[in-house]
Amino acid sequence: MAKLNIVKFGEEALRKVCRPVDEITPKIVRLLDDMIETMRAANGCGLAAPQVGILRRIAVIEVEEGEVYELINPKIIAYSGEQREVEGCLSNPGKWGVTKRPMAVTVRAMNRHGEEYELNGKGLLARAICHECDHLDGKLYTDVQIEAVDAD
């Protein structure tokens, strides 16, 4: 595994719509492993492929230690409720903003074995799913930010 470079706000890759993954190859599996290592090394709870300069529909999430979700070609298929919480991004270190997100979401995705599954998330997990799926469409949390929060 290798720690990848996280691209920062202002870099073009973060505003691109990512291409779907057509086949799970050893290269895709290695990318998932590297993304997990990179996310953990940066103390994040989610990381999308465009954040490491790869324009593919892949994200990883870990809001509870040891419980990693790999999302390949994710699509949010249901959402409900509302939450307004502070949110940040590994591509925008030291900056935070209050966002409005659904309280609960259901996402359909594939895992590293090409198996389709559905994941139901509430609270922080729902917010992380929305945040990472937005990255795959070239959207940033600042696009849904209600107000900036001082990092002090």
CA distance 109 to 68: 14
The single-letter DSSP state of residue 49 is: G
- Could you tell me which of 12, 13, 56, 9 has the C-alpha nearest to residue 32? 56
Tokens for 121, please give them. 């998330």
CA distance 98 to 103: 14
Dihedrals φ, ψ of 124, to 5°? Answer: -60, -40
Q: Which entry of 62, 70, 87, 132 is annotated as an active-site residue?
A: 132
CB 118 within 8 A of CB 77: yes
CA distance 107 to 127: 12
Does the annotation mark 132 as catalytic? yes
CB 109 within 8 A of CB 74: yes
Active site residues: 132
